[in-house]
Amino acid sequence: MRKQRTLKEAVKASGIGLHSGKKVEISLEPAKENTGIIFYSEDDNTQIKVSTQSVINTQLATTIGKGNIIIGTVEHLLATLFALHIDNIFIRLKGREVPIMDGSSAPWVYLIKTAGIIQQNAYKKAIIVKKPVKIKEDGKFVALIPSKEFEISYSINFDNPVIGKQRMDIVVNEHNFIKEISKARTFGLLRDIEYLQAHNLALGGSLDNAVVVDEYGIINEDPLRYENEFVRHKILDAIGDLSIMGLDIRGKYIAYRSGHDLNNKLVKELIKSSEAYEVVGNPRSEKAAVESLVWNPLKAKA
């Protein structure tokens, strides 16, 4: 169990929305303890607090909203805030989509480190996964099972010779996220991107903010940042999608060919299964909850 954190000072940036193709201005600002993560749309004078109820669309990206006001592509920023333990923050936007930056979380890590981080007095609540929760759908699979720390085991399998099959297992913490995950960029197949842009989607996508793959190789001049950058980016997305709960996580997330939609369904399935989790709010209760886990990982294989 740890204390909550926020930024020391505000920091600003601008960029292009991946799907809208429009310029976006963004400001990350400190917030009081127990505030949570709040987006503020300057275009609509509307606040949207990040929660499981605020997710309204998971096609191609994770979108939050209130009424007819939406803010899209929040997952990379949310993943960074989660991994760097920024619990309370006010995110001011001119535009309806978080800028894609270079397609990874690295620019967000830089901005947060530039702003500085301060510890607050209140404790951060954690969710302890006590029983497995699983979803199988269209040859895809996701699960959350008990673990004393937040772990991810992710496998992808693309019908493309360049991407193919990749798997990665990682314990999610600030150090591992920055070193092993944060620089992994969003990616897509050339044929899919051409189709999306022809239908007014991914209008801001370019070789500056995505790894583009055809049947023969990487189209980008810059090489991959990691040998298995593709599965690492899927892990980045998953961290952002799971962070929507607003809680630290003590559990192992297992995925095979998952995406934003299935990740969101898993979160909802966990929350509605009250016997599958416990939310704790202080060090003593967390220690007791974690120590009470009786779990044989050999029985938890997907």
Active-site residues, by number, are 260
Q: Characterize 59-75 residue by residue with b for buried, 16 or more Cβ atoms within 10 angstroms of its Cβ, and e for exposed.
A: ebbbbbbbeebbbbbbb
Picking from 31, 44, 43, the residue whose alpha carbon sits closest to that of residue 4 is 31
Picking from 27, 30, 28, 24, the residue whose alpha carbon sits closest to that of residue 8 is 30
The sign of the torsion formed by the CA atoms of 205, 207, 209, 214 equals: positive
Place of tokens 């749309």: 41
Q: Give the DSSP letter of residue 276.
A: G
CB 254 within 8 A of CB 167: no
Give how far Cα 134 sits from Cα of 143, 245, 252, 256, 300, Å. 4, 17, 12, 12, 11
Give how far Cα 93 sits from Cα of 6, 17, 72, Å. 18, 11, 11
